[in-house]
A = this chain, B = another copy of it.
Amino acid sequence: MENQNQSLVKIVSNSWNQQLGQANKLFESLSNEQLAGEIAPGRNSGVYLLGHLAAVHDMMLPLLGLGQRLHPELDEVFIKNPDKSELQKPDTNLVRQHWAEINSTLNSKLAALSPEQWLEKHTAVSEEDFKKEPHRNRLNVVAGRTNHLAYHTGQLALLKK
């Protein structure tokens, strides 16, 4: 039997895991050549979105108080600059590896959290603000990142023939 907090944590963590599973299935089905293509004419390439998602998930580690970032070097190409910049992108297989490593690290740390730890504040909110708005916790961050992932997964799905 689940208690109420466990149920509520499960709603958000299941939603995250389901969306991540859907994204992974999609990335596995796409070749590096397909990932090099644009989601629509003149728009972001698949590999840019893969690197962008990897960087955003990597940032979740310190934001959730779960450790240091694994690949902060991703930010220059995939966060601070747009796809069509002059910067050379890392090899697609390397970006895939980083994506897998980041999510695997993040998920093993998330899986170890107790329901009470899920409800603790994230690191970007002050103790004072958290007292007034206790929903600004780890669960809230993961709910927001789940939407972000779903948004770009909808775009990446357009790369499938």
Which residues on A are within 8 Å of B, measured CB to CB?
1-2, 4-8, 10-12, 14-15, 18-19, 39-41, 43, 119, 131-135, 137, 139-140, 143-144, 146-148, 150-155, 157-158
Contacts and interface: CB of A to CB of B under 8 A. Distances in A.
Which secondary structure dominates chain A's binding surface? helix
A146 B5 CA distance: 21
B7 A4 contact: no
A153 B149 CA distance: 12
A20 to B, nearest CB: 11
Contact of A147 (B6, B19, B119, B140): B19
10 A-B pairs closest in CB distance = A151-B154, A150-B150, A154-B154, A40-B40, A7-B135, A8-B8, A147-B150, A10-B135, A150-B151, A154-B155
Contact of A43 (B10, B119, B158): B158
A40 B15 CA distance: 27
